[in-house]
Every structure is written in structure tokens, then in C-alpha cells.
Amino acid sequence: TFYGAILANMLFQPAAGKLRVRTQEEVRFKELILRGVLSIADGENPRVLEQKLHVFLAPSARISAFPTPGQGRAEGAKAW
């Protein structure tokens, strides 16, 4: 019907798109957690683990807890 077409195009399709994006983000986040936990369980080096998990983050969101020589500690990173 006419009203069904209007509702589908103005309400339901945009909502479905948002749900699809949120689902993809949640799956990616859970995969990040799973890989981290499995790497810790395998006794992997923390620096290697950091490199692996950085793949899941956007470059602008990456903060290194282990600065390379010549660089200062990243802003917001805790000193242990």
C-alpha cells in the first residue's frame, strides 16, 4: 500500500541500516576481545599483542602504551 511504502522508505530502511552498522561494530568488538584473550592465554608478548590488536582500531584511535625509542609516551597512556 501507499502508506506501507512511505513507512518502509522513511522509517524502517534507515532503522535497519543503523542496526546493521551496530551489529557489525559489535561483532568486530567481540572479535577483538576474543583475539586478545586467546593471545594472553597463549602467553604472547604484550608488544606483539598490542600490534595485533591495533589492526582493529582506526589509526586516529590508536594509543601506544609502548612508545618506540625516540618517542615520548602517548598521551593518556599509563606508566607502569
Question: What are the structural domain ranges in the chain?
Answer: 22-55
Which residues, including other chains, have CB under 8 Å from residue 48's CB and lie 6 or more apart? 39
CA dihedral for 35, 36, 41, 46, sign (positive or negative): positive
What pLDDT does 27 receive? 95
Grid cell in block for residue 44: 604472547
Using alpha carbons only, what angle is made at residue 19 by residues 15 and 21, rounded to the nearest 5 degrees?
Answer: 120
pLDDT in tens, 24-44: 999 999 999 999 999 999 999
Confidence (pLDDT) at 57:
81
